[in-house]
Structure 1
Amino acid sequence: MSDNIAHAISGAAGGMLSMALTYPLITVSTRNQVQRQNNEVDERAYKGQLDAFKRILKEEGIPGLYSGLNSALFGIAITQGVYYYWYEKVKAIYEGKDKRAMSTLESMTSGAIAGVATSIFTNPIWVVNTRLTVKNEEKLAQTNARKKKTGLIAAILKIFKEEGIKGFYRGILPALILVSNPIIQYTVFEKLKEKLMKFKKELGATDFFILGALSKLAATSITFPYILIKSRMQLKQTEEERYKSPVDGFRKIVKAEGVKGLYKGIESKLLQSVLTSALLFAFKEEFYQFAVTLLVLVGARNKKI
């Protein structure tokens, strides 16, 4: 049974568990990213991460912090599963039978191939998730009262009816550009892991937690402006608000909000992404051994049949 399948299964399981534990931070981060700063004073605008958390909790209750969780769990399972499958598949080709360490260029190439495949396959899922996370907050802002939240199926049908298939691929260009995020992350991760293994024969869950946190900190800090632009492009907007391209989005944000607008919500995003990534790497290593055992048992059973 292919080893990259075990990596895909463990990556999907680790991704789902880490996202479930940190999802309230994702909600706060997403809403801060898509909230625009106009010249006029917006009474509904969040004054910061803590204010956003308190108001969501007060106005929507605990369920508000988990808006879009179902689509997010499905999305992260597919995202991590597809990513790890292709990353480990390309990595195995580069390493060959002698299992030599990949060069920096080879590591980046593996990340690029896996990242492009993942972005194309999962962009529709994240468009739906972004809409669900933000739309429920917008409904509350308009009515100032609690209303039934938009469901997953309803959101999918609404996007398809109003925007067609292309609606599911809003933000695909910045998403493809953001392939640089996992490229940076996994290159830093592999290099730090290589250095650490000179001092330790075996790495444990704590080691992978720290390596995951440091590598994601580097990747998110560098690519955050594109993360912000991608989130905004995935929303349905008026012609005036719509970004025609990542460059157009960059210009409009700087013009309306200043350079600091490119880093709106970075505090909660760093906290969320670093923590989620650290947990993902720690959980993945634990799930990996289970996945290998499971695949061996399935293979043995199929041979008997």
Structure 2
Amino acid sequence: MSQDQQASSSSSSSRFLPAKSWQHFAAGGLGGMCGAIVTSPFDVVKTRLQSDLFRQKHSTINVVGGSAGSVVVGAPRAPSNLLYNFVETGHILRDIYREESPRALFKGLGPTLVGVIPARSINFFTYGNGKQIIANTFNDGKENSYVHLCAAAIAGIATGSATNPIWVVKTRLQLEASTRKSATNGQRFAGSSWIMIKKIMREEGVRGFYKGLSASYLGVTEGTIQWVLYERLKKLSAGTEGRGGMQQWLGMLGSAGTAKCVASLITYPHEVIRTRLRQPSVNGVMKYTGLLQTLRLVIAEEGARSLYGGLSAHLMRVVPNAAVMYSIYEGVLYWGA
């Protein structure tokens, strides 16, 4: 084979299988794992605030007689504003710790890690290699926002389809109440992952593991916005233009956190809808059965504001999560180059 033919063959191979493509897989999984562990308590709070099963318990705060923060069913809710929402998140974390045990703050972490590691690995692998393939195939090897958008959308669909069953199990676990007594007796809380898997299979069949998949596909827009913004902000950040040290690290943190915050604010209602769709049945009846049905029912019963339930806890989780995840991802790619 001539040198020209070898070069052509090498170029064709790199076009469809970029060099060191495995690094995106490993870096994404490692970053996702670290971020999930650090921010797990906020994930529990967010899930509960999104669900109407815990709305009555956690949406009212008694401020009479100096007992601010006490949860009292039927008490008038404090004025809703951004600052209060963050304070409310703190109260709920405290109540879960007191009433259910510290372990309850990490409910669902097992299936979260089981889901996060492959989810982030698949997402970063598909996106990192996809943008190179799309650019080489359709844009003369040049990356731009359109290339990033297409790669992010494909990555989101692939990730959602592969990991939806894991997120269903995680959501069900987080919505199961557990008492301090059962925890201190050394018993595993009722919703262990395996027990929950068998319960879903027995009561709902295989289709039960794909509850909320339509909302997950709708959520692809969040990942798409996040990736496109991150790429743009990374270019604008002086800390990521070939400069090392603290400036480069801070640039990555700022770009990742800002991109995730903006994307979450724009697309957050799909998170609430997805959580409602994944809720267990009550007395054998599934209250939420479809994307549009859930949207209409939530607005009719609770108002449009409820579509942003748990937003404060969500932001407190996903912004630092994204900063940790993307910095680890970029670091692994940098040191593996």
Tell me which interval the TM-score lies in, with the shorter structure as reference length: 0.7 to 0.9
1:89 correspondence with 2:129: yes
Which residue is equivalent to 1:80? 120
Whole-angstrom distance in 2 between the partners of 1:172 and 1:49:
27
Equivalent residue number for residue 303 of structure 2: 258
Amino acid aligned to 1:126:
W
- Of 120-129 and 252-261, more deviation after overlay is shown by 252-261
Residues 1:227 and 2:263 are matched in the alignment: no
Matched-pair contact (CA < 8 Å) for 1:12–1:81: yes
Query: In structure 2, do the counterparts of structure 1 residues 102 and 55 end up closer, same or farther at CA, with 3 Å as the change threshold?
Result: same
Structure 2 CA distance for aligned equivalents of residues 198 and 66 of structure 1: 35
Encode CA deviations 1:183-214: one digit per residue, 9 max, x unaligned.
Answer: 00000011111222598323622211111100
Verify the 8 A CA contact 1:111 1:183 in the aligned structure 2: yes
Structure 1: which amino acid aligns with 2:48?
R
Is this contact kept in 2: 1:13–1:287, CA < 8 A?
no
Q: Is the 8 A contact 1:35 1:45 kept in 2?
A: no
* Native 8 Å contact 1:37 1:257 kept in 2: no
Aligned partner of 1:58: which letter?
Answer: R
Q: Is the 8 A contact 2:48 2:54 kept in 1?
A: no
The one-letter amino acid of 2:135's match is E
| 2:145 is equivalent to residue 104 of structure 1 | yes
Deviations 1:63-107 (A, max 9, x none): 010011111111110110001111112111133399855222221
The one-letter code of the counterpart of 2:182 is R
Question: Paired residues, what number?
Answer: 284
CA distance in 1, matches of 2:329, 2:144: 23
2:212 maps to what in 1?
A: 171
CA displacement, residues 97-132 of structure 1 (integer Å, 9 cap, x when unaligned): 998552222211101111100000000011111111
Which of 16, 33, 40 aligns to 1:16? It is: 33
Distance in structure 2 (CA, Å) of the matches to 1:95 and 1:243: 41
Verify the 8 A CA contact 2:238 2:251 in the aligned structure 1: no
Q: What CA distance in whole angstroms lies between the structure 2 residues aligned with 1:198 and 1:280?
A: 17
Contact 2:153 2:221 in 1 (8 A): yes
Instruction: Give the conservation status (yes or no) of the 8 Å contact 1:59–1:146.
Output: no
Deviation at 1:240, TM superposition (A): 6.0
Q: Say which of 28, 32, 37 aligns to 2:49.
A: 32
Structure 2 unaligned spans of 5+: 1-17, 62-87
1:191 and 2:232 matched: yes
Cα distance, 1:129–1:199 mapped onto 2, change above 3 Å:
closer
Check whether the contact 2:160–2:217 (CA below 8 A) recurs between aligned residues.
yes
Structure 2 Cα separation of the partners of residues 104 and 44 of structure 1: 41
Aligned pair in 2 of structure 1 residues 4, 202: CA closer, same or farther (>3 Å)?
farther
Does the C-alpha gap of structure 1 residues 152 and 195 become closer, same or farther in structure 2, counting only changes over 3 Å?
same
**Larger Rg, first or second structure (1 or 2):** 2
Mean CA deviation greater in 272-281 or 241-250? 241-250
Q: For residue 200 of structure 1, what is the aligned residue in structure 2? A: 241
Q: Does residue 49 of the first structure (1) align with residue 94 of the second (2)?
A: no
Match of residue 146 from structure 1: 182
Aligned residues of 2:239 and 2:251 also touching (Cα < 8 A): no
**Which residue, 202, 207, 217 being the options, matches 2:261?**
217
After TM superposition, the score normalised by the length of structure 2 is: 0.78
Structure 1 position 7 matched with structure 2 position 51: no
Identity of aligned residues (%): 25
What is the TM-score when the length of structure 1 is the normalising length? Answer: 0.85
Q: Quick check: 2:31–2:326 contact (8 Å CA) kept in 1?
A: yes
